[in-house]
Structure 1
Amino acid sequence: MIHLLGTIGMVAAAVGSAGFCVVYHLSARWWRSEEGWHLMSFTGALAAAFVWLTVRTFVVSPRPVSVGVEVGRTLVFCGIAGLLWWRLWILYRRQIRPVVRRGRRQPEERS
């Protein structure tokens, strides 16, 4: 059961980090600032690592490990997944939602 939770955390981290990269690329000119480059490269590296780990988990048979290792793996993967989804939510709140709201407003009529 604990292995399944760790695997779910790992997959969530892979999807969350890859999702952030896609949304950030489509919503911001990240290549114009050092901060943007950092966010994209760091999150992209995490996405690559978690996608690789996810593929490896489903393709390679794991060797038996101790309960402590499984608990640690689960805490790490779920913790990172939570942080990545938090980063994606911040991106949405700060950059996507304001644009969507501005697009929905009707221009005020002047008399």
Structure 2
Amino acid sequence: MSNWEEVEKSVRQYASYIWNRPANADRIGGVNFDCVVKISEIEIIAIEITKNRTLEKIREDIGKIQTIRMAMMMKNIMIRPYNLRLFTYPRNERRRKRKLYRSSFF
């Protein structure tokens, strides 16, 4: 199992704990989501997970969510979307920011 698959599995596991329902990768309205939790007949949680933090990817994910929200709204189903961005700053970048923060006060 790759590292990314483990991340997705962990997110699904936490989603199951939070909403006390099964969480699985699923397709809603023809769009694939990394994690979907069906709360009731009229409410669905859709979670998209990515480590890509470019503006294009963010716009693509928001567009994907908007498409299914409108389609499902016509069926009287509410979609509650969550968009997780997983990334860390490089070690040197964190040090530089920490130095900038400290120097601004002293």
* Greater percentage in helix: 1
* Greater percentage in strand: 2
* Larger Rg over CA atoms: 1
More relative contact order, 1 or 2 (CA 8 Å, 6+ apart): 1
